[in-house]
Amino acid sequence: MTRHGESARTPVPTLKEIADVAGVHASTVSRALRPTRPGREPSAEVRRIRALADEMGYRPNFIAAGLRTQRTRTIGVVIPRLADGVIASLCQAIEATATAAGYQILIATPPDEVEPQLRSIDLLQDRQVDGLLITSLHLGHPEMLARMRASGVPTLAVNRTGNDSITAVTADDRTGGRLATEHLLELGHRRIGIIAGPRHASTAWRRTLGYRDALTRAGIPVDDQLIVHTDFEVEGGIAGANLLLDLPEPPTAIFAVNDTAAVGALGVARDRGLRIPDDLSLVGYNDIPLVGQLPVPLTTVRSPAAEVGVSAVEQLLLGMSGGEMSARTLPVELIVRGSTTGR
């Protein structure tokens, strides 16, 4: 009877078992199995051992190797809201880049609150990850930094910024927010509402900062009534749009800081009999694949989620090999489609 209670399993052989069959010492097998230095031919003995290991179905035990070398070839990823398509794209890019570099990723996708996220960091560190990627919404939280520092594991913020003391790879959200708003201003809109996402999410507030930038540059005073905070989901878009459109002096255009919320706003417009873009202009953010195919395709800002993931892993790999990680801010692009028009 085996540990898990199954019956017949072919046990994976260990180095020692290979060695016994080969008539050499385990350490010899260990050495024979490690990659030959480039340019050098493996000796006949090495080839023999490798063939035997292969035949016996040898597979290295990463746990044992990790204990010995103090390197697990594992990257921890703390990534709340994984169910969101944009976040998932980011995650897939992280995984692909890590895998290509010989790393695996250990994922935690805790709720959007500080405590669970701290627990996630601890758990990943307990598993001796070689590096840590964090897309938390609460990076500014002091305890967060303390935890990240504690273990000395190279840690990088992805898609978010917190404190300056942690290196971050993000998209240029502030510019994105400004581009979206400037586009509406150029079309002649003067009352522009913004569905601004959660207060504690740096992506959201940086896009909102860009919105403020644009208005300020245009000499238009910022009306705080026009800034509504909600969540990133469809429901948030619905709630936000209703708040804005119920104002005594409602906006003629709405900028939602993500596409999902923009679609929620779309539903509200539909229910109120407002035509897009004639009665209301709408701008989203992220350019998720769906929004280009809507009956009225959505004007939006394309944010390079996959590139952010790739770049983050690259920086982290650098950090893990003793180098200095540097912050990256990747460019975004305004995609003008049919949901915005002049007035």
Partner DNA sequence: TTGTATGCGTTATCAG
Partner DNA sequence: CTGATAACGCATACAA
Q: Which two tokens stand for residue 13?
A: 């052989």
* d(C-alpha 88, C-alpha 79), whole Å: 9
* d(C-alpha 206, C-alpha 196), whole Å: 10
150 touching DNA, by CB under 7 A: no
Tokens 């010899």 label which residue?
A: 28
With contacts defined by CB under 8 A, name the span among 16-24, 122-130, 134-142, 172-180 that binds a copy of itself.
122-130
Distances in Å between the alpha carbon of 213 and those of 110, 178, 206, 209, 216? 33, 6, 10, 6, 5
Rounded to a whole number of angstroms, the minimum distance from the CB of residue 263 to DNA is 48
Measured from the CB atom, is 91 or 257 closer to a copy of itself? 91
Out of 20, 21, 28, 302, point to the residue binding DNA (CB under 7 A).
28
Measured from the CB atom, is 24 or 294 closer to DNA? 24
Q: Which two tokens stand for residue 252?
A: 């003629």
3-class secondary-structure state, position 220: coil
122 touching a copy of itself, by CB under 8 A: yes
67 touching DNA, by CB under 7 A: yes
Burial class (CB in 10 A: 0-12, 13-18, 19+), 14: middle
Return the C-alpha torsion angle 94, 96, 97, 99, nearest 10.
Answer: 110
128 touching a copy of itself, by CB under 8 A: yes
Say if CB 246 and CB 273 are below 8 A apart. Answer: no
Binds 16: which of DNA, a copy of itself, none (CB < 5-8 Å by kind): DNA
Binds 214: which of a copy of itself, DNA, none (CB < 5-8 Å by kind): none
With contacts defined by CB under 8 A, name the span among 27-35, 48-56, 123-131, 190-198 that binds a copy of itself.
123-131
Site for DNA in 70-109 (CB under 7 A): 70
227 touching a copy of itself, by CB under 8 A: no
Binds 97: which of a copy of itself, DNA, none (CB < 5-8 Å by kind): none
With contacts defined by CB under 7 A, name the span among 9-17, 78-86, 164-172, 215-223 that binds DNA.
9-17
